[in-house]
Amino acid sequence: MIKPIGSDELQPRFVYDPEQHHRLLQEAESLPSVVVSSQTAGNAVMLGAGYFSPLEGFMNLADALSVAESMTMTDGRFFPVPILCLLESTDAIAGAERIALRDPNVEGHPVLAVMEVAAIEKVSDEQMALMTDKVYRTADPEHPGVKTFNSQGRLAVSGAIQVLNFSYFQADFPDTFRTAVEIRNEIHEHGWNKVVAFQTRNPMHRAHEELCKMAMEAVQADGVVIHMLLGKLKPGDIPAPVRDASIRKMAELYFPPNSVMITGYGFDMLYAGPREAVLHAYFRQNMGATHFIIGRDHAGVGDYYGPFDAQSIFDEEVPADALAIEIFRADHTAYSKKLDRVVMMRDAPDHAKEDFVLLSGTRVREMLGQGEAPPSEFSRPEVAQILMDYYQSLG
């Protein structure tokens, strides 16, 4: 199996030993504590689950700035984006060496993690602007990732953490949420060697389904891990339970038996385009995938990124030998009326636009909201039914 990044074994920050877990929970109740942002909580969940291995906790300012500039920490270790715990105020934890981080997304704000405070540093406007520009390639406050990142505080608390729970993800998505440790174990149990990972924050239509099958065939993979984001999205995106149900139905009916794993991870979408694509590849290697599909406008939003920027960044900016996972570079995929099958557009140079079944996201949402199923060449009817039920429930 492919090795995790930076070590022979994953280094999850979750405390699995029952006695130590109980002891830390008891200690946490007496520690100074702070309710963190949703983005910070997602970082803690990913650290706990082993996805960010071998990172031990939240970066200090020097490492965060170095990562933003060059995707390397000050000691030379590779990481694609700053992983920060940003607070508006540190009054409640002033002078403390150990603190409890509390969950903003669960009622009662239970303890997410215990943190060793290495430093508390003020982040200047110039430093925030630099990180924003490098990671998001824009300073536009209308960009949802820029808006979220800059709406946090300006005090960076750094240090190693011990994670005590996985927020709402385990309770709300018991059949889907998986740690990197669990996915590695399941891949091993399947006996898979070559594994393709597919990232999604949306329901999967026919083109996505066929893209997974194309990638599996091209690299002769044993299976595909459909790995969906379960955290917060921008307004208007389809909620995770609906995506989960539609993807499961598609896999059940249209994939060969024992060829697909449907899993999810607890993280809020950054919409950081190319940089987020590299982060996606980073934690897919940690979960055991050998290949990762990156298509047009991966992790993008609006018109902030070029259609293939998320592919070219691996050639132009990612340090050599930083990742062992291989990138499967996909073009826009659509149903060809001429060939009567789904193809990548680059593989059909003799086609005109009207030779493909193409529908905009806006048009698909309109159809579903009106109880009208998209063509079967675009969306499997069973998937369309789940989405129609959701959109009509909104009316």
Point out the residues that are catalytic.
201-202
Which is nearest to 347 in space by CA: 334, 360, 337?
A: 334
- Calpha distance 175→177 (Å, rounded): 6
Strands 260-265 and 86-87: unpaired
Task: Report how far apart the first and last C-alpha atoms of the chain are (Å, whole number).
Answer: 48
* Tokens found for residue 217: 């065939």
- Give me the helices (H) in 151-179, please: 169-172
Whole-angstrom CA distances from 270 to 55, 95, 251, 316, 349 are: 19, 32, 27, 21, 34
* Tokens found for residue 329: 């570079």
Strands 333-336 and 356-357: antiparallel
- Calpha distance 80→85 (Å, rounded): 16
Alpha carbon of residue 238 to chain centroid: 16
Coil, strand or helix: which one is 310?
helix
- Calpha distance 370→5 (Å, rounded): 47
